[in-house]
Amino acid sequence: MLVRTLVLGGGLTGITLAHLLRQRGQEATVLEAAERIGGLCRSRSENGFTFDVGGSHIIFSRDHEVLEFMKNVLGSNREQRTRNTRILFRDILVKYPFENGLAALPKDDLFYCINEFIQTYLKAEKGEIPPPANFREWIYATFGKGIADLYMVPYNEKIWNYPPESMSAHWVEGRVPRPPVEDVIKSAIGIETEGYTHQSVFTYPAEGGIESLVKSIARGIEDCILTGFTVRSLAFRGGVWEAGDGKRTVTGDRVISTIPLQHLLPCLGGGVPPAVKEAVGALRYNSVCCVQIGIKGRVPDISWLYIPYRTQSLANRISFPSNFSSHVAPPGHAGILAEITYNEGDEVSRMTDDELVSHVIGSLERMGFLTPGQVVHTAVDRQKFAYVVYDLDYPGNIRIIREYFQERGITLVGRFSQFEYLNMDGCIRQAMECARSWP
């Protein structure tokens, strides 16, 4: 029997699901609120510059099947680069990850980091460190007080815009590896070591930015994608699911949601238990503002740069997309993308686009990455749903939410529907598992 699946959301997860279901001979309809597919993986091309509007994306993965899927759908539209990433520690460019670049630190800071790391390592080996109760404790238990104080805590306070002591530690296990003690000692005495080797070589679309990946996955299934359809109602009636946008209704035998839970829940109308509403309302997330700067001239041979201190810039990360591809800036020009996390009501949310551009240009000039007169193009994009924040109440809240939607027969897949901090490869892996699990 041909089963029609309604896929809510046409971002990377939703388009991948439709692609895979079509491969399995199943009918699917994607309902996307925007006029273009892509979600956080959309790109903006103007004045010869191309930038990713949801933050800098690269293609890498430990998951060989997912990595080959992404490369294969891009075909020849891809370029490969070797990662060259730095951390701006005060005014020093330190190799990323921080524990692999300790030799660049001033001697006092170097001793502080390596001494505290070894002391912490010895305590852990003796079983003297209790299980961490929160993210801040995990940082100290993993890296020691030196690396924690100088980099890990200030950077994570900045990117999450939330106190690490109020965040759960469960999500970092397996995502942020514990550095091997021999690598940290080598880095401290100047022997080159590499961390996060699975992303030391990465791929990026040659043309079109990261949106090219989503468009490539969508090739051949355009007929099943309905854009400009904001799902406002979702109900199971007469043995079928009905999704409506206030003007039109689309029906299907089953539903997969990839849209944010905060958008999905109101579609269900009345009857949602108060505990579920409270749990969804309590979920924390960050928004991101992406400031795009096109310049005349060159940029440093750096892939991206982490900036741990707010005194340096509001941006937590600066990337150089013209170092990812030779086709995202006009000849003789380069691109710089600044990412700033924020929450509604805070300082960044109240700044105008012009104020944000002015701030980023000023901070880039102070940091030595720009000189006056170089800028020829600017743009700003804001994404409300960008990062999942794992607060201490997250495990209990997400359990309530998932049990409810499972009982309703609505499958949740993807970053903001599953409400997990998934990279692109994690979203594609979830889509693969979902498609395979259904008859």
pLDDT digits 0-9 by tens, 125-174 = 999 999 999 999 999 999 999 999 999 999 999 999 999 999 999 888 76
- Does pTM surpass 0.85? yes
Does position 311 have pLDDT exceeding 70, yes or no?
yes
My answer on whether 234 and 189 are in the same domain is: no
Asked whether the predicted pLDDT for residue 2 surpasses 60, the reply is no
Specify the number of domains making up the chain.
2
- Classify burial at 230, counting beta carbons within 10 Å of its beta carbon; exposed 0-12, middle 13-18, buried 19 or more: middle
- Pick from 188, 185, 181: which is nearest to 105 by CA? 188
The pLDDT-based confidence of 177 (bands split at 50, 70, 90) is low
Residues 419, 407 contacting (CB under 8 angstroms): no
Is the per-residue pLDDT at 1 higher than 70?
no
Domain span including residue 425: 4-39+209-283+392-437
Q: What are the tokens at 95? A: 């190799």
pLDDT at 174: 65
Question: Domain boundary at 168, 195, 222, which?
Answer: 195
SS3 381: strand
Confidence class of residue 90 from pLDDT cuts 50, 70 and 90?
A: very high
What CATH number is associated with residue 228?
3.50.50.60
Pair 184, 231 in one domain: no
Tell the burial category of 423 from Cβ atoms under 10 Å away from its Cβ (0-12, 13-18, 19+).
middle
> Does a structural domain hold residue 105?
yes
For the segment 375-433, what is each residue's pLDDT rounded down to a tens digit?
999 999 999 999 999 999 999 999 999 999 999 999 999 999 999 999 999 999 999 99
Q: Tell me: the pLDDT tens digits for 262-297?
A: 999 999 998 899 999 999 999 999 999 999 999 999
